[in-house]
Amino acid sequence: MAVERPTPTAPLSVHQDSLEGKMVTVKEAAYRLGKSTDAVYQWLRTGRLRGRQPGGRGCAILVLESSLNAALLCTFERASAGRGRFGSPPL
């Protein structure tokens, strides 16, 4: 005897949906950003990076790759701000 399960009427919450995608380790994120792992943990705490701990407390934390890419873009834009056409200060 098969039991019919009701289909959910509400869509997935934004929080759950936004944390799906490719994930990288904190060590990999630190390498890509050129920062220490402590800096990555700080960015996760402050919300600058998004991540999750899928195994629960005591397990590895994973960083959402799209969040990492956004942080890289932001860092690159800040580094090149106020520079001339070829990276030198404007005359």
Residue 11: pLDDT over 50: no
Both tokens of residue 44? 């996760």
Distance separating alpha carbons of residues 24 and 62, to the nearest angstrom:
5
Q: Taking each helix axis from N to C terminus, what angle separates 26-33 and 65-80, rounded to the nearest 10 degrees?
A: 20
What element of type H or E holds 16? helix 14-18
Can you give the residue ranges of every domain in the chain?
A: 20-77
pTM for the whole structure: 0.63
**Residues pairing with 25 in the sheet:** 62
Given 3.30.450, 1.10.10, 1.10.357, 1.10.3470, which CATH number is that of 20-77?
A: 1.10.10
pLDDT, one tens digit per residue, over 33-66 is 999 999 999 999 999 999 999 888 889 999 999 9
pLDDT of residue 91: 54
CA-CA distances (angstroms) from residue 83 to 20, 34, 76? 37, 21, 12
Separation of alpha carbons 86 and 91, rounded Å? 12
